[in-house]
Amino acid sequence: MKIIRLPSVLALSILLAACGGEEETTADGSPQSGRGACPVYDAGKKADYADPTKNEDIRLCIPQQTGVILYHEFSEPILVNLKNSRKMMQMKFAAVTKHDNFALAKIASHEMSMRSAFSDRLLQVDEAETGSAGFRTKLQTEFAVAANSIVEKYEAYGFNVVEEVLITDLVVQ
């Protein structure tokens, strides 16, 4: 058995200190350099959270799963013409998360990108598809995947923030 000499231990300690120690990781184990868990949400400080660019800790924090269901209702319905038809379809949406209020704020901040992705998909819907079994369920699943893809693109959390996207109102005329 070899004895580790003091210079070796000292060199190893310096090397570990220079590397910065252990990095925080996302749910899938990928590094989240400079990011930590979001603080406990304080409703009294809601105005402080409204502009995360003013607070680096809030802008970079990682939402925590709480198990409490929160909803973000999209501001306006989406109205599109059905493909190859004179009919129109209007939908309203709500995104569901089981993460904290900071996740809800991130969802709200990316609503425009989500609306764009949802609109792109809705423009491919034809009249026959609207009457098919499972139409709403299929769209809700596709929208949840799209919403999580958008949040991941901009926030790089490494986990899904949006549990599901609900179609809260659907009109075809």
pLDDT per position as a tens digit, 14-35: 544 444 444 444 444 444 445 7
DSSP state of 88: E
Domains and CATH numbers, the chain: 63-172 (3.30.479.30)
Is the pLDDT confidence value at 61 over 80? yes
Angle at the Cα of 60 from the Cα atoms of 30 and 37, rounded to 5 degrees: 70
CB-neighbour burial class of residue 80 (10 A; exposed 0-12, middle 13-18, buried 19+): middle
Report the alpha-carbon distance of residue 62 to residue 133 in Å, rounded: 38
Give tens-digit pLDDT for 74-91: 999 999 999 999 999 999
Is the pLDDT confidence value at 125 over 90? yes
Give bridge partners of residue 99 from the DSSP assignment.
65
Query: What's the token pair of residue 47?
Result: 């105005």
Give bridge partners of residue 36 from the DSSP assignment.
none
pLDDT attached to residue 38? 82
Give bridge partners of residue 89 from the DSSP assignment.
80, 172
Residue 51, classed as helix, strand or coil, is coil
Residue 31 burial (CB count, 10 A):
12
The closest alpha carbon to 124, from 170, 72, 83, belongs to: 83
- Per-residue pLDDT band at 44 (split at 50, 70, 90): confident
Q: What is the pTM of this model?
A: 0.73
Continuous segment of H or E residues that includes residue 144:
helix 135-155
